[in-house]
A and B are shown apart, each in its own frame.
Chain A
Amino acid sequence: DAKTTQPNSMESNEEEPVHLPCNHSTISGTDYIHWYRQLPSQGPEYVIHGLTSNVNNRMASLAIAEDRKSSTLILHRATLRDAAVYYCIPKPPGAGSYQLTFGKGTKLSVIP
């Protein structure tokens, strides 16, 4: 599995954009980059995933570096509900790769 490095914690003011970085320099060419988050006292929830191109959905955007050794999860306007631990998880595609390997993640605090 590719090793990931994320900041232990970050802070953001409410309604401001947040950029959450992840380094995954040992990622293989076919690994997708998945992001999950875990709100306090809840199970993790899927946020977004991508391979090479930048991706957008209703929750966030994912910017992937051209060399794929890093990526950034972008929350366009942080809300109090976005306070959570965010996990970056490289994972091979396909049915044979089903296990999610969670690291320590980044704990995001949102300041009202």
Chain B
Amino acid sequence: GAGVSQSPSNKVTEKGKDVELRCDPISGHTALYWYRQSLGQGLEFLIYFQGNSAPDKSGLPSDRFSAERTGGSVSTLTIQRTQQEDSAVYLCASSLQPGGEQYFGPGTRLTVT
């Protein structure tokens, strides 16, 4: 079946612009996660959605970052006023149940110039 998809696969933006990254989780998966991976670094947790519960935003690095999940399915990660340090690969994952095996998408490579 279809896995987790993310779009765009690559995004180049100028410093100060806003960007939106999209994630389509596996159908039926209730949990959705965003991580980011900076060059040469490990994966860093950003935010977690589960059903209709309030999301866990504890990993968001600043208030320029926000995310929403509409209808319990598609999620959008928004970065406002992008900075060069935001350049990274942004990965989305979903799991059938909270705490379950996570299935990752291919990621969106964001480059801020």
Residues of A within 8 A of B (CB): 36, 41-46, 49, 91, 93-105
On whether the beta carbons of B42 and A99 are closer than 8 Å, the reply is: no
Collect the chain A residues with CB atoms within 8 Å of residue B50's CB.
95, 98
- A95 near B42 (CB under 8 angstroms)? no
Q: A43-B104, A43-B106 given as contacts; is B43 within 8 A of A98 (CB)?
A: no
- B99 and A95 form a contact (CB under 8 A): yes
Interface check B85, CB cutoff 8 A: no
Q: Which listed residue, B97, B102, B106, B107, touches A100 by the CB 8 Å rule?
A: B102
Q: How many A-B residue pairs have CB under 8 A?
A: 57
Contact partner, B99, options A44, A93, A104, Cβ 8 Å: A93
Q: How far is the CA of A87 from the CA of B55 in the complex (A)?
A: 26
Which residues from chain B sit less than 8 Å from chain A, CB to CB?
4, 31, 33, 35, 42-43, 45, 48, 50, 56, 59, 91, 93, 95, 97-99, 101-107
**CB pair B98 A98 closer than 8 Å:** yes
Tell me which residues across on chain B come within 8 A of A49, comparing CB atoms. 101
14 other contacts beyond A43-B107, A44-B102, A95-B50, with CB at 8 A cut-off? A42-B104, A42-B106, A43-B91, A43-B104, A91-B99, A97-B99, A98-B33, A98-B48, A98-B98, A99-B33, A99-B48, A99-B59, A100-B33, A103-B42
A94–B99 contact, CB under 8 A?
A: yes
Q: Would you call B48 and A102 a contact (CB within 8 A)? A: no
Please, could you name 29 A-B residue pairs with CB atoms under 8 Å apart, sorted by A?
Answer: A42-B104, A42-B106, A42-B107, A43-B93, A43-B106, A43-B107, A44-B93, A44-B102, A46-B101, A46-B102, A93-B99, A94-B99, A95-B97, A95-B98, A96-B98, A96-B99, A97-B99, A98-B31, A98-B33, A98-B50, A99-B33, A99-B56, A100-B35, A100-B45, A102-B42, A102-B43, A103-B42, A104-B42, A105-B42
Residues of B near A41 (CB, < 8 A) are 106
Q: How far is the CA of A105 from the CA of B41 in the complex (A)?
A: 10
